[in-house]
Structure formats: structure tokens, C-alpha cells
A = this chain, B = another copy of it.
Amino acid sequence: MAKTASPRRKPAGRDRAAAGERIVKLARQIVGVVHEREDPFVDIPARTLSNVQFNEKRGIIELLDGKQRRSFFSLLGRRKGEGSQAKKFMQTLRVAEVCKRLIGADDSTSIRDLFYNLKVPIKSPDGKAKELVFYEQNESDPIIEDIEVTVNALREELGVHAENKGNMVGPMTITDNGDRIDLTAVGSGGWGVPSIVEPDVIQFVRHKAKFVLLIEKAAVWTRFNKDRFWEKHECLIIHGGGQPPRGVRRLVYRMHNELKLPVYVLVDNDPWGYYIYSVIKQGSINLAFESQRMAIPAARFIGMSSYDADRFAIPPHVPMPLTDEDRRRAREIREYPWFQRKEWQREIKHMEALGVKLELEALSNKRFSFITEEYLPKKLAAKQWLD
């Protein structure tokens, strides 16, 4: 099947009412088919590797227009071990129904709560059905993603949230759910980044920031906050406790696009650090649909680079050797289309050649504030980043 890229979608914040209308429209189409005494179906954009491409011009991973039909009158699964289309059709409509209900109530819930809300017997004419709509959360999670791509809405618009993780401080005042918060006065703990940060919840009131620094680890962020890096360098510092959750990614995306702030990403020098950066920059294969409202193609990799140990004279006994798993992952990552530029090939191959990884905390071998007082200021001044 020939594939073209999906038309570019509106990159604005969430419009829950519009998403709700698209759910109703989907339901009306299905009812229409039923009235025509035909087999009702839902066409769901395929979230498969073959339906994903890296758009070099836009710099993001995007979904193509391949679709999978889910028919009511089919007891066959699409893949071995998968439930019948009839069952998945029913599940899809039940999840859509809950999302519509959440939108109507201006409410939101977690994916686990949503699962339990639908751990109920299937409706049957005689009311005696014993089978449940869902038995396990790993059945309902992918259906939520199906609804997202089918009605073209982020799950935050539907009212389904992921975990809340991450903190932010810096020279900016926001409102969060009506509360005005000065992010220069939120203490050592910082403001907790919620899982839903769409414009109807979080508004940027004013700021004096020159850039956003996204730090991989909470403990390293604590050091940057303690040393008031955000004050000296007029920036917002944010972390997501490892792989940043959706709330952190969306917030950084919004600050980049709405406030025109450059974004620097600071991660461990290991394959997992490169990967975290790449998800922030291009999006991920699993959630290619969301790249256009999550990915930040202009995000800069400020470190740690595999050249930093040498640049900053880190003694050779400090880095840790790459494990077999690290080496396997490094090979995978350097095959990704978005790491094909020669600077990136050089960066990754240099790590492999050295055979070691360098964590952010390794800079504490010099002294605890080396990272905030020397390492990062020097990297920024020398424009030693990759994009």
C-alpha cells in the first residue's frame, strides 16, 4: 500500500470539546452503518513499525496513513493470540465512551483507574454475560492509544493521564489550575510538574528565562537547584526522574514553541542517555502519532558527550565500562535514521571505542559543584552541543 504522511495537525493546546465532538462523530458513523444493516467497523491508524517514518525535513518520527479495520462481525484476531475483532471493536467503543464521559465532566483519570472502571461484565441482551470488557490493564492501555490516533486527540485531551513525575524551578510565573505560582520561590523541592499541562490547566504568565535545561536525573537537578544555576544563568531547570513522563515533555514542548526558548538536554553519556534525548527531539516509534505535539526537533544535546571525559580531564579510573547490554543498545541507536549525521556517528562510535560510559554524577569526582560551576557553563559558552 502506498503511504503518504498524515496531514499536519494543529499544534495548539488541548481542545477537549472538539475531541469530544470527534468521538460523537465516530459513534454516529457506526450507528449509520448499523442502520444500513451493514457490518459496523472502526478504522484505526496502524501503530506498527511499517506505518512509521522519520520525516527528515520536519525532524520528527511520524505516523503514515495506513489503517487497520476493526469489524464487529469478525471473530478473528488480526494477529495470533490477539482477541477477536468483535471484542476489540466493543472494547474500543467502551473506552471511547469513558473518554467522552470524562470530557463531559471536565474530569481526568489515570490509565489504571480507567481500566478498573471498565473491569465490568459485557452488556448482553439477557444481562447474563459473565465475560468482562477488560481483565488486565495491558488490554486497555493500547485501546486508549487507538482512540487517541483515531479521533486525533492527545490522551490529555481525552482526560487520561500518565504518572506525574518531575520538578521545575526558574524565573517564570505560571498559573496551575488557577493558582498563581512564582517558580523562583518554590523552595528546594520545586513545583511538581503535573501529568496534564495543557493550556487550560497551565498558563505562562511571564518569564525572564533565556533557555530551558532538561536534566535526566532528579538528584542532579537537586544540585542545579541548590547552586541556584537557574538564577545565575536565567533559565528554567526541569527534570523528569529518568525518561521524562508525558507531562514534562509536553511542558518543555510548550515552553519551546510558545515562549520560543531554546531547549538543552543534559543526560548521562550512555546509550540510554542518547535515547532519552532522541525521544525528546524526534518522538518515539511507539507513540509516533504524538510526535507533532511532543517532539522538539531543535532540542540540543548539551552533554554528556563521549568527548567530555577528555575535555574536562576526568581521570581514566572514573568512567564505568560499557556492559554487553550497553554495547548492543549503542549499535541499535546508531542505526536509527535520526542519528545518521556524521557528528552523531562520531559521538556514538567514540563512546563505543572508549568502551566506557560517563554518568552525570561522575563529575563529582572533581567536586560536587563542578557540573554547575564549570562543566555546563563552559559547554554553553563554547557552544559545545549537538543538535
Contact = CB atoms under 8 A, between A and B. Distances in A.
Interface in A219-267: 219, 222-223, 226, 241
Given A179-B185, A364-B117, A112 B219 contact: yes
Contacts of A361: 110, 112-113, 115-116
Nearest to A107: B368
A344 to B, nearest CB: 27
A192 B194 contact: no
Interface stretch (A159-167, A208-216, A293-301): A159-167
Contacts of A364: 109, 113-114, 116-117
Interface string A2-41: 0000000000000000000000000000000000000000
A345 interface: no
Contacts of A362: 116, 119
Interface string A139-169: 0000000000000000000000101110100
A172 B106 CA distance: 28
Contacts of A386: none
Contacts of A163: 218-219, 241
B317 A218 contact: no
Copies of chain A in the complex: 2
Contacts of A187: 174-179, 181, 191, 194, 202
A132 interface: yes
A329 to B, nearest CB: 21
29 contacts: A107-B369, A109-B223, A109-B364, A112-B219, A112-B359, A112-B361, A113-B219, A116-B361, A116-B364, A119-B318, A119-B362, A161-B219, A163-B241, A164-B189, A164-B222, A165-B241, A174-B187, A175-B187, A176-B187, A176-B188, A176-B189, A177-B187, A180-B185, A181-B186, A188-B196, A189-B191, A191-B191, A191-B192, A194-B222
